[in-house]
Chains A and B, each alone.
Chain A
Amino acid sequence: DIQMTQSPSSLSASVGDRVTITCRASQSITRNLNWYQQKPGKAPKLLIYAASSLQSGVPSRFSGSGSGTDFTLIISRLQPEDSATYYCQQSFSSPWTFGQGTKVEIK
């Protein structure tokens, strides 16, 4: 199984800050990497697919990059509504696996 490792596990940042979350796969997954946002008590929501494609309706302050084993999610100017847990997920090979999540808090 492909292991997905996110860092950091949590972070605290101020409104307007640039936030970077990384995700590393245990083997190459080319660009088959998705990012989800989950708020408390809610289902995950797709933000980014295929490493860097922005899902329709998602604000442009979210962006993704990377290929192979190393990927990044960037929030360019953090907003209060971005307080959530973010998960990466590989869609390269079954079983589909997720990172452990990164909790983003607003200072």
Chain B
Amino acid sequence: QLQLVQSGAEVKKPGASVKVSCKASADTFSSYDVNWVRQATGQGLEWMGWVNPKTGNTGYARKFQGRVSITRNTSISTAYMELSSLRSDDTAVYYCARDYYDSGSYRFDPWGQGTLVTVSS
């Protein structure tokens, strides 16, 4: 059973960058895209982008293009999400999730436990 384990909480100043990791527990890491979704306190879920672990191809939500970079290191089954030029409204819990696909259907399963990123001066 695949598990995704994320790095710990971060506190950053406005204008800085943050890099969050997501390590997969199983050999199936390269078989499916890894997505990143964030959630501000008390708010809903916001999709940010994806990486294909096998090819390194990526896709980003328009809102984050130019400010987000999603990468992977297949040798350690880990995906990364780096967000730059941080603002206070980037304060949120950031989740990684596998984009599982079969029978013509995509869905996010499983999810990492989440990483709280706080942006404060």
Chain A contact residues, CB within 8 Å of chain B? 31-32, 34, 36, 43-46, 49-50, 53, 55, 87, 89, 91, 94-101
Tell whether A101 pairs with B44 under 8 Å between CB atoms, given A43-B111, A45-B111: yes
Known: A31-B105, A98-B47, A101-B45. 19 other contacts (CB 8 A): A34-B107, A36-B45, A36-B108, A43-B95, A43-B111, A43-B112, A44-B95, A44-B97, A46-B108, A49-B107, A50-B104, A87-B45, A89-B108, A91-B105, A95-B61, A96-B47, A97-B47, A99-B44, A101-B44
- The number of A-B residue pairs with CB atoms under 8 Å apart is 54
- CB neighbors of A among B27-61 (8 A): 35, 44-47, 59, 61
Q: Is the CB of A46 within 8 A of B109?
A: yes
Q: How far is the CA of A99 from the CA of B109 in the complex (A)?
A: 17
Consensus secondary structure, chain A interface: loop
Tell whether A95 pairs with B47 under 8 Å between CB atoms, given A43-B95, A43-B113, A43-B114: yes
- Within 8 Å CB of A34, what residues of B? 107-108
Q: How far is the CA of A98 from the CA of B45 in the complex (A)?
A: 6
Tell whether A44 pairs with B44 under 8 Å between CB atoms, given A94-B59, A96-B35: no
- Within 8 Å CB of A44, what residues of B? 45, 95, 97, 108, 111
Q: How far is the CA of A53 from the CA of B66 in the complex (A)?
A: 37
Q: List 12 A-B contacts (CB under 8 A).
A: A32-B106, A43-B112, A46-B108, A50-B107, A87-B45, A89-B107, A89-B108, A91-B105, A95-B61, A96-B35, A98-B46, A99-B44
- Within 8 Å CB of A36, what residues of B? 45, 108
- Within 8 Å CB of A46, what residues of B? 107-110
* B103 contacts A by Cβ under 8 Å: yes
Tell whether A91 pairs with B106 under 8 Å between CB atoms, given A43-B111, A44-B111: yes
Q: Is the CB of A50 within 8 A of B44?
A: no
Residue of B nearest to A85 (CB): B44
Q: How far is the CA of A101 from the CA of B44 in the complex (A)?
A: 6
Q: Is the CB of B47 within 8 A of A100?
A: no
- Within 8 Å CB of B113, what residues of A? 43
